[in-house]
Copies of this chain bind each other. A is one copy, B any other.
Amino acid sequence: MSSAHQHLTHIDEAGAARMVDVSAKDVTTRTARATGRVLVAPRVVELLRGEGVPKGDALGVARVAGIMGAKRTPDLVPLCHPLSISGVTVDLEVADDAVEITATVRTNDRTGVEMEALTAVAVAALTVVDMVKAVDKGAVVTDVRVEEKTGGKSGDWHRP
């Protein structure tokens, strides 16, 4: 990365926050995929797998929350641009000690959707915590991160 990028672009030379002007950037198809995990107690894993009780809507609610969360990104993250999101998927899987979450977001717009994918994961994760908290007060949201992005001038990026 060139030294020209070695500063916080959202902060101007005087230290003031701004929404960076992207009007000169091209409208292209861009995608981002982010992941995260909610660490939960063994009893929660059993309940989410439906052992002994109806599995029910729990993961479905978190999936919807994540999709809707992606759309709320510019309301939540102050310097994010409002974006024309063209597709979102959120996948939740119950592992042995955690719920694993993956979100993929697509756009045709002037800036990337990494923040939208991360927000989808974060909101889905918070929703999982909300639903399990009567059984497990200690659930932890962890490892929320971008895995890859495609499109845009800076090109594709994959987590090393």
Tell me the residues in window 84-134 of chain A with beta carbons closer than 8 Å to chain B beta carbons. 84-91, 106-110, 114-115, 118-119, 122-123, 125-127, 129-134
Contact of A142 (CB < 8 Å), options: B10, B18, B107, B142: B142
- Whether B119 lies near A126 (C-beta < 8 A) is yes
Total A residues in contact with B, Cβ cutoff 8 Å = 94
Q: Is the CB of B135 within 8 A of A87?
A: no
Q: Kindly name the residue among A63, A67, A90, A141 whose own CB sees the greatest number of chain B CB atoms within 10 A.
A: A141
CA distance A146 to B23 in the complex (A): 21
- Find out whether the CB atom of B132 lies under 8 angstroms from the CB atom of A122: no
B19 touches A85 (CB 8 A): yes
